[in-house]
């Protein structure tokens, strides 16, 4: 790639290449940082110095290809135009700028006071080509761009997109503030699902359409059949009660004819029970999602734990992908 680098290879007393040290400038070290384990392996396996130099050149070619945009100097017009745009936008709207002026994070506040970030990745052809825009949105954010546009235009489009999602975030924030959300634990702004606790080992997973947050969402009940079946029946029978003028949470209360447990009055441990087999709440990041149907038991399990347990029981039977057997707790 037309680049020259100076290196020094220091051999130990026994002159074994596998124990050699490779010294170079900080610039080359930074480029090869992600490949240091590969280079160490090559030092151990190459029979001679010539073979290692060939391997080193190959690795360096790959490293330069993957980080070319970080090391190719931008034209002066790029920096003058970018700084002019930043001045025009206002430094108070900037949350972060990297040392090479290639990554910029802009901050904004929507009409409800929520804070948002937008990350811009600029290439050397800016402003002829628009930057890549990364946002924490539940929908795609597409930027309308022409060569005469600036960062101000992108920022204004960002603000407009925030207002279009206002009702969706209002609905999700109300759920987060007034109910016990079991999943996700720390929801991102792009998250469209909430698993809301209804009672002990009973919850509902709600999938909300970010473009139409006031429409009846997709609901999936989790828990023992004798508990969730009446809830499914209520939801189906009361669909006609859905009122777009009410909030999503209030509509769920009306349709299910329940009051969701409040996080102000109860602890999460009242609903988030550990798996009855592995005694942990999370397995590979997932909570227990299988519950014993026996009304007097209701013990939750991870699906993987329960499947492995039932497979080991002589009395269990399997039909296709479904396995039947006794509960580890109540033997029902």
Work out the average pLDDT over 147-160: 94
- Contact call for residues 214 and 172 (beta carbons, < 8 A): no
Among 186-200, 237-251, 273-287, where is mean pLDDT lowest? 273-287
Residue 9 Cα distances to 18, 21, 93, 219, 281, angstroms = 11, 6, 48, 64, 52
Work out the average pLDDT over 15-35: 86
Residue 6 Cα distances to 22, 302, 308, angstroms = 11, 56, 57
49 lies in the same domain as 60:
yes
Confidence of residue 285 (pLDDT cuts 50, 70, 90): confident
Residue 174 lies in a domain: no
309 lies in the same domain as 288:
yes
- Contact call for residues 287 and 202 (beta carbons, < 8 A): no
- Contact call for residues 60 and 29 (beta carbons, < 8 A): no
Distance CA(74)–CA(294), nearest Å, equals: 68
Q: From 17, 41, 69, give the residue that closes a domain.
A: 69
Q: Is the pLDDT of residue 124 over 90?
A: no
260 lies in the same domain as 186:
yes
Q: From 48, 69, 90, give the residue that closes a domain.
A: 69
Residue 232 lies in a domain: yes
Among 48-57, 114-123, 286-295, where is mean pLDDT lowest? 286-295
268 lies in the same domain as 279:
no
SS3 call for 259: coil
134 lies in the same domain as 216:
no
115 lies in the same domain as 137:
yes
Q: What are phi and psi of 219, to 5 degrees?
A: -120, 130
50 lies in the same domain as 129:
no
191 lies in the same domain as 222:
yes
Q: What are the start-end ranges of the H helices in 95-224?
A: 151-164, 166-178
315 lies in the same domain as 299:
yes
Residue 171 lies in a domain: no
pLDDT tens digits, residue range 61-109?
A: 988 888 755 545 788 889 999 999 999 999 999 999 988 889 999 999 9
Task: Give the CATH number, domain containing residue 110.
Answer: 3.10.110.10
Residue 2 lies in a domain: no
Confidence of residue 1 (pLDDT cuts 50, 70, 90): confident
195 lies in the same domain as 261:
yes
**Residue 89 structural domain:** 76-164
Residue 114 lies in a domain: yes
25 lies in the same domain as 52:
yes
Distance CA(303)–CA(278), nearest Å, equals: 11
The count of structural domains within the chain is 4
Residue 235 lies in a domain: yes
- CA atoms in the 13 A half-sphere facing the CB of 200: 7
Work out the average pLDDT over 239-268: 88
Residue 99 lies in a domain: yes
Work out the average pLDDT over 268-274: 68
19 lies in the same domain as 64:
yes
Task: Give the CATH number, domain containing residue 296.
Answer: 3.30.40.10
Question: In 10 A of CB 57, how many CB atoms?
Answer: 11
Tokens at 305, concatenated: 């734990």
- Contact call for residues 159 and 114 (beta carbons, < 8 A): no
Residue 172 lies in a domain: no
Task: Give the CATH number, domain containing residue 231.
Answer: 3.10.110.20
């Amino acid at each position: 790639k037309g680049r020259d680098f100076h290196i020094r290879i220091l051999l130990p007393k026994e002159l074994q290449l596998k124990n050699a040290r490779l010294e170079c400038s900080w610039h080359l070290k930074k480029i090869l940082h992600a490949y240091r384990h590969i280079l160490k392996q090559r030092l151990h396996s190459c029979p001679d110095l010539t073979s290692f130099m060939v391997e080193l050149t190959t690795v360096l070619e790959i490293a330069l290809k993957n980080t070319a945009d970080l090391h190719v100097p931008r034209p002066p017009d790029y920096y003058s135009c970018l700084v002019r745009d930043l001045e025009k936008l206002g430094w108070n709207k900037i949350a972060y700028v990297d040392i090479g002026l290639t990554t910029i994070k802009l901050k904004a506040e929507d009409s409800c006071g929520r804070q948002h970030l937008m990350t811009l990745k600029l290439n050397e052809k800016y402003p002829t080509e628009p930057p890549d825009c990364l946002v924490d949105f539940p929908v795609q954010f597409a930027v309308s761009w022409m060569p005469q546009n600036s960062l101000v235009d992108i920022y204004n489009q960002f603000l407009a997109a925030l207002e279009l999602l206002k009702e969706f975030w209002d609905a999700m924030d109300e759920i987060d503030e007034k109910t016990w959300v079991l999943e996700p634990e720390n929801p991102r702004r792009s998250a469209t699902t909430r698993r809301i606790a209804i009672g002990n080992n009973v919850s509902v997973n709600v999938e909300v359409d970010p473009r139409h947050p006031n429409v009846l969402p997709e609901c999936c009940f989790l828990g023992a059949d004798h508990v969730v079946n009446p809830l499914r029946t209520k939801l189906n029978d009361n669909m006609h009660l859905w009122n777009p003028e009410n909030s999503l949470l209030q509509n769920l209360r009306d349709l299910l004819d329940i009051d969701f447990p409040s996080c102000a009055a109860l602890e999460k441990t009242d609903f988030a029970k550990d798996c009855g087999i592995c005694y942990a709440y999370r397995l590979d990041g997932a909570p227990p999602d299988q519950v014993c149907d026996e009304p007097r038991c209701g013990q939750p399990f991870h699906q993987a734990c329960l499947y492995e347990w039932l497979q080991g029981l002589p009395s269990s039977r399997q039909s296709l992908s479904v396995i039947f057997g006794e509960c580890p707790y109540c033997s029902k």
